[in-house]
Chains A and B, each alone.
Chain A
Amino acid sequence: MRRRLWLSVAMLVTGASLLVASSFASAAGNAGALKKGGIWKYGTTGASVQVDPQLAYITTAWWLEYATAAKLYNYPDKSGPAGSKLVPEVASHFTVTNGGKKYTFFIRKGFRFSDGSPVTANSFKYAINRTANHDLASPGAQFITDPTGTNIVGAKAVNDGNGTNVSGVQVKGNRLVVNLTKGDGTFMAKITMPFFQATSTKLPLDKEVVNVNGNNMPAAGPYYMSRNDVNQLTSLRQNKYWKPGPGRTRPRNLTGIDVQWNLNEQTAFQQTKDNQLDEGPLPAAEVQGVASQYGVNKTRFFTKPVNCTGYLPMNTANNLFGKNLQLRQAVNYAISRPPYVQQAGPYAGQPWTHLFNPGVPGWRNVTLYKKNLTKAKQLASGHMKDGKITVYYRSSGSTNPNQAQIVRQDLINLGFSSGNITMKGFSGGNIYDAMGKRGNDADIGVSMGWCSDYPDPYDWINILLYGPSIQDENNVNYSYFNNPRWNKRMENAAKLVGPKRLKVYGQMDIDIMKKAAPMAIERTYNNRYFFSDRVNPKGLVYQGIYQDWSIPAMALK
């Protein structure tokens, strides 16, 4: 009896100890939790971006859109592979019928716009109607009117100005039905682009929203845009109607974020250093100093990969590189990738030899070409044609002209005489217009690149190298690569879905760069970030899909 009493006392003490320990553990856990509240001040040298959900397109715009948008399916606020897995958001689930041509999304209740109005299936239909609208001229239209890719029934007609209602999109109660002209493996990746987020009918169907003040552009995500003064200030604030619930599992720490546009690089850098801005520009000359002072990816300086690849397209429509695989491969062996990358400063990227960078689904970690001038010269021997080459390069800034000089020297080393190399400079993005015009006289382009619009290899291989899509101007197939055998392989790959699709595309990337070499891949890219001392590094979650920090996850100290 006495022994049992002692046992009971011992158990009681142990239990009490565990209780105390658990409360300490819980307290410790809370101490590690991220602070709620505060306005994140972001300063950029860039011009302000379009904020209308159906017109916002470039990187910074989408960074903001991912914080304000509620989509059918979405990417979680997680870094690495976990962040690239689509999860249901406003749609609880979806079905695919009619041979992959009919998608039915089931819309949840509980999502509301920042003005209090509910999100319905019609909110998504309205987004598609706006995107397709002829007068609004949304850049998103190209992603739902592609005859070789995603093509929603009736979207092309609306985009051509015939009507305003996309007939292939129907609303039946809480169901959104989207009919495609043919099955398409990229549809889910595309419908997750911010163009197709739940959109309030407060936004005019055919007119862009430019200035935002209050709730004239409601959003259904964790945040909404409360203010937009063009080229000055853009503010996001919490959507008070967004409460955790089914589909609403995203974090939300900050009260809001203020973006100041068009800042002077040096001044804004000083402001960030002085904690007047929480995130600001990092001049190239300051990168190494900042990295040494704060370390890399630790406290205030971070570098993260971008889903972009830099390359030199070789124009196969012209005499020099047309039907001249040996010379194209020779260029791949002759170019000096490390110094080319170094021109952009420390931590700007790494040398690369095939199209799929580590952000592209299906990519493989291989090195296809190691610099070998002897091999390059052997391959080029007898294939230099008349020995003349025209190089298009970007003349803006200091990095691009320096890269052009490196390529020029590589071409001289390969065997082109300096007098036979014609260098033509283009400022800004004009090189893309020049090289995008069929019949241009470029043999090779320098400092060109491509970034992912949506996470699917189709956006790389089929968009950049599919021959039948070549037209008179505005081409993105700058190599004018048009090979029936490869075209067929691309068409077949586009029909696949799931892991097999990624496997086939991953292999095709390697094969095409080795066996056809329509371009010489040079590099990958990194973004470099500089933060104030107010920023809590534990709240920094790098979302690989839109290649920036998740705003809902960010936190201040």
Chain B
Amino acid sequence: MFRYLIRRILWAIFLFLVITFVTFVIFFMAPNNPARAMCGGDQAGPVCLKTATEKLGLDKPLPVQYGLFLKRLVWEHSLGTSYATSQSINETIKQAAPVTASLVFGGAVCWMIIGLSVGIFSALRPRSLIDRAAMVFVLIGVSAHPVWIGLIFSYVFGVRLHITPIANYANFFGAPPDSGLPGGPVQWAYHMILPWMTFAILFAALYVRMIRANVMETLNEDYVRTARAKGAPEQRILFSHVLRNALLPVVTMLGMDIGVALGGAIFTEYVYQLPGLGRTSVIAIQAEDLATLEGVVVFATIAILFFNLIVDLLYAWIDPRIRLS
């Protein structure tokens, strides 16, 4: 087990180096000049551009810049400062990560509630009106882009019906004093309802289909028939025999999808103006701010590698065949 753990950690470090280096190379392969943003954009004058290039360290060769980045990360635990705003990137991540976490984990709860309830009901009543309606929902959920869904939700529930806010984020722990912005747990949940629903629709659609198929398959297993023959009540058969087995792959998939969902958060965050990691990345790309972009990539990489490592170790613990292989 110890050797397996060491192997996995070394592999995670290698992956981390590859991902961060590739991000660096891709950024510098595209023609751009982050110094220009500090000098008034299109207006940038030669003196200012020269000074800003030196200040950002962009006059140094690429491998040196990458080396400095790694040194700063490992020794100082610092992701550096933004090219565009001069803010500490650690601070940027610290502010943005909880917003994305709110969206992803809240969205995951929503899609699991929708997926489980609709999926199980569809499996129990196949080809019924509800089952067919669920399939229509699945089709729409898979086909429609989150930006479109977000704008429609925002317009219908926010602008027309005034049920929810049109956009913006409310801090769970309260708004800055004298800012006039909403804050606190109630406002936080109120502002997150539409983003959660938008975020959940795509995944809920996929989960409905998968849960329906798994439950229907499990319902035909021998042990379910045996339970029925023994006279077990239908509710007990469903919860103790069917769901326990049918949901095992769903739990596995949920663990993997949370990582994928981090990427999908970009669209939802952008429509609803949530200051999370996704929107931070978009802003960084638009501003040619490699430092911030690299910071988000590093953070997301570490988070995903960490969760993957935990999952791998859990698997190895549960199933000895994995660590032996």
Contact with B along A226-253 (1 / 0, CB 8 A): 1101111101010000000000000000
* Given A270-B159, A428-B288, residue A230 in contact with residue B85 (CB < 8 A): yes
* Given A48-B85, A450-B43, residue A267 in contact with residue B154 (CB < 8 A): yes
B43 near A453 with CB under 8 A, answer yes
* Given A139-B45, A263-B167, residue A58 in contact with residue B176 (CB < 8 A): no
B43 near A230 with CB under 8 A, answer no
- How close is B172's CB to chain A, nearest CB, in angstroms? 15
B44 near A432 with CB under 8 A, answer yes
- How close is B146's CB to chain A, nearest CB, in angstroms? 12
B41 near A474 with CB under 8 A, answer no
A267 near B49 with CB under 8 A, answer no
Q: Does B181 contact A (CB under 8 A)?
A: yes
Q: Name the residue in B85, B154, B176, B279 with the highest tally of chain A Cβ atoms < 10 Å from its Cβ.
A: B85
- How close is B237's CB to chain A, nearest CB, in angstroms? 48
* Given A47-B287, A137-B51, A210-B87, residue A267 in contact with residue B40 (CB < 8 A): no
Contact with A along B144-159 (1 / 0, CB 8 A): 0000000100110011
Q: How many A-B residue pairs have CB under 8 A?
A: 152
- How close is A109's CB to chain B, nearest CB, in angstroms? 30
B166 near A276 with CB under 8 A, answer yes
Q: What's the interface size class on A, roughly?
A: 35 or more
B273 near A262 with CB under 8 A, answer yes
* Given A47-B283, A210-B85, A428-B32, residue A137 in contact with residue B179 (CB < 8 A): no
* Chain A residues, Cβ within 8 Å of B55: 135, 137
Contact with A along B283-299 (1 / 0, CB 8 A): 10011100000000000
B40 near A434 with CB under 8 A, answer no
* Chain B residues, Cβ within 8 Å of A432: 36, 42, 44
* Given A227-B179, A429-B36, A429-B41, residue A270 in contact with residue B155 (CB < 8 A): yes
Give complex CA distance A366, B86 in Å: 45
* Chain A residues, Cβ within 8 Å of B159: 270, 273-274
Within 8 A of A (CB), among B142-189: 151, 154-155, 158-159, 166-168, 176, 178-181
- How close is A348's CB to chain B, nearest CB, in angstroms? 16
Partner of A229, one of B40, B50, B95, B270: B95
Partner of A426, one of B31, B154, B179, B286: B31
* Chain A residues, Cβ within 8 Å of B43: 57-58, 450-451, 453
Give complex CA distance A430, B270 in Å: 25
* Chain A residues, Cβ within 8 Å of B288: 428
* Chain A residues, Cβ within 8 Å of B52: 137, 139
Q: Does A482 contact B (CB under 8 A)?
A: no
Closest to B155 in A: A270
* Chain B residues, Cβ within 8 Å of A231: 85, 92, 275, 280, 283
- How close is B91's CB to chain A, nearest CB, in angstroms? 8
Within 8 A of A (CB), among B18-68: 30-33, 36, 38-52, 54-55
A263 near B47 with CB under 8 A, answer no
A142 near B45 with CB under 8 A, answer yes
Give complex CA distance A268, B40 in Å: 25
A230 near B87 with CB under 8 A, answer yes
Q: Does B120 contact A (CB under 8 A)?
A: no
Q: Does B134 contact A (CB under 8 A)?
A: no
B283 near A237 with CB under 8 A, answer no
Q: Does B204 contact A (CB under 8 A)?
A: no
Give complex CA distance A149, B173 in Å: 53
Give complex CA distance A450, B181 in Å: 37
Q: Name the residue in A230, A450, A463, A475 with the highest tally of chain B Cβ atoms < 10 Å from its Cβ.
A: A230
Q: Name the residue in B31, B51, B176, B180 with the highest tally of chain A Cβ atoms < 10 Å from its Cβ.
A: B51
Partner of B47, one of A145, A427, A453: A145
Q: Does B272 contact A (CB under 8 A)?
A: yes
Give complex CA distance A427, B285 in Å: 12
* Chain B residues, Cβ within 8 Å of A420: none
Give complex CA distance A50, B37 in Å: 10
Give complex CA distance A473, B50 in Å: 10
Q: What's the interface size class on B, roughly?
A: 35 or more
* Chain B residues, Cβ within 8 Å of A69: none
* Chain A residues, Cβ within 8 Å of B45: 139, 142, 463, 474, 476
* Chain B residues, Cβ within 8 Å of A427: 30-32
A433 near B166 with CB under 8 A, answer no
A474 near B85 with CB under 8 A, answer no
A235 near B41 with CB under 8 A, answer no
Closest to B165 in A: A276
Contact with A along B83-114 (1 / 0, CB 8 A): 01111100110010000000000000000000
B36 near A39 with CB under 8 A, answer no
- How close is A554's CB to chain B, nearest CB, in angstroms? 16
Give complex CA distance A134, B86 in Å: 16
Q: Does B210 contact A (CB under 8 A)?
A: no
A267 near B275 with CB under 8 A, answer no
Give complex CA distance A271, B72 in Å: 42
- How close is A475's CB to chain B, nearest CB, in angstroms? 7
* Given A229-B95, A426-B31, A433-B36, residue A141 in contact with residue B279 (CB < 8 A): no
B176 near A233 with CB under 8 A, answer yes
Give complex CA distance A145, B51 in Å: 13
Give complex CA distance A55, B38 in Å: 8
Closest to B31 in A: A430
- How close is A48's CB to chain B, nearest CB, in angstroms? 6
* Chain A residues, Cβ within 8 Å of B168: 260
Q: Does A293 contact B (CB under 8 A)?
A: no
Q: Does B271 contact A (CB under 8 A)?
A: yes
Q: Does A77 contact B (CB under 8 A)?
A: no
Partner of B31, one of A230, A273, A276, A434: A434
Closest to A209 in B: B86
Within 8 A of B (CB), among A178-215: 208, 210-211
* Given A262-B283, A428-B288, residue A139 in contact with residue B42 (CB < 8 A): no
Could you write out 26 A-B pairs with CB less than 8 Å apart? A47-B84, A50-B85, A57-B39, A135-B55, A137-B48, A139-B38, A139-B40, A142-B47, A208-B86, A210-B86, A227-B176, A230-B82, A232-B95, A258-B180, A264-B167, A270-B155, A274-B158, A427-B30, A428-B288, A430-B31, A432-B42, A432-B44, A433-B33, A463-B45, A474-B46, A475-B46
Which 8 A-B pairs rank lowest in CB-CB distance, beginning with the nearest? Answer: A474-B46, A142-B47, A137-B55, A139-B48, A230-B87, A474-B49, A137-B51, A57-B40
Beyond the given A142-B47, A270-B159, A475-B46, please list 4 additional residue pairs across the A-B interface where CB-CB is below 8 A: A47-B283, A135-B55, A233-B179, A473-B46
